[in-house]
Amino acid sequence: MNSLIDTLPIAAIALLLLVALCAVAEFAGRWRRRGGDGGETNYAASAAVSLLALMISFTFSVSLNRYDARRDLVVEEAAAIGMVWQRAKLLREPTRSTVETTLRAYIDRRLDYFQQDRLTDRTRPSDGASRAMRLRLWSVADELNASGTQPLTTRALIDALTRMDDAAARRESMAREHIPLMVIDLLIVFSLIAAAILGYTGAVHGRVTRAANWAFFLLVTLSIMLVLDLDRPRTGLVIVSQLPMKELEAIMDAPEPVIALER
């Protein structure tokens, strides 16, 4: 069963977390006011906030690195497909048209696969439709290799297809890589414990710092939501751009320019 972290929208998680933090702090403050002073606890609040900041910075760094890796892999796959496209121009008809038509359909399929409205991809299967298209291109290369026609062009096409296969596998694997749910769950638990300590500390001698605590809880919530947003490449405010693939598709669909040669 998927965690609620994976199934709920980010806005819903943010609202629940903010309400929980405020409620825990309020409960801890009332508990201390009922029990009396209980001694100085500012050191515990400082330590809790420092530990929480360390945890958030660590998870933010992990999510940002994975976001950068996903973005780089989009460029890598687009470059690999473009290489196959350019080398297909050296083939003779009707093989050239077959390869070009398959590549156009392949890009459409990859855009659909990586733009569908999914929160996370931990258990998502690989893109079987695009794999079938790559196998179709490999069958064309096998036929060219068996016929012995255009051996240099065939070798160049095989090299480009190998690179395209590698880019596709790496990109799908990275799409399924997310911050472990245990880390996110512990981050939320640490946030709740820190909220309890702040609420308990702020209730010294009946002095309540609700406004400052709530402002801090809002910052904590926004920070955690940014981590989750970076970790979800398809939805939210921070989405991995598919512009390199779209630009390549536009180049493929554009008419080839006619170059007049001077005599």
Q: Residue 184 and residue 166: Cα distance in Å, rounded? A: 31
Q: In the numeric block, which tokens belong to residue 256?
A: 């080839």
Distance CA 232, CA 185 (A): 16
CA distance 98 to 189: 56
Pair of tokens at residue 92: 């003779």
pLDDT in tens, 10-34: 888 999 999 999 999 888 888 877 7
Please return the burial class of 156, using the count of CB atoms within 10 Å of its CB with bins 0-12, 13-18 and 19+.
middle
Binned at pLDDT 50, 70 and 90, residue 261 comes out as very low
- Cα separation, 26 vs 202, in Å, equals 10
Entry pTM: 0.82
pLDDT band at 177 (very low <50, low <70, confident <90, very high): confident
Rounded to the nearest integer, the mean pLDDT of the chain is 85
**CB count in 10 Å sphere of residue 209:** 17
Residue 97: what are its φ and ψ, rounded to 5°? -65, -35
Please report, as a single letter, which amino acid is at residue 146: A
| 258: pLDDT strictly greater than 60 | no
C-alpha span between 154 and 131 (Å, rounded): 20
Spatial neighbors of 89 by CB under 8 A, at least 6 apart, are 96
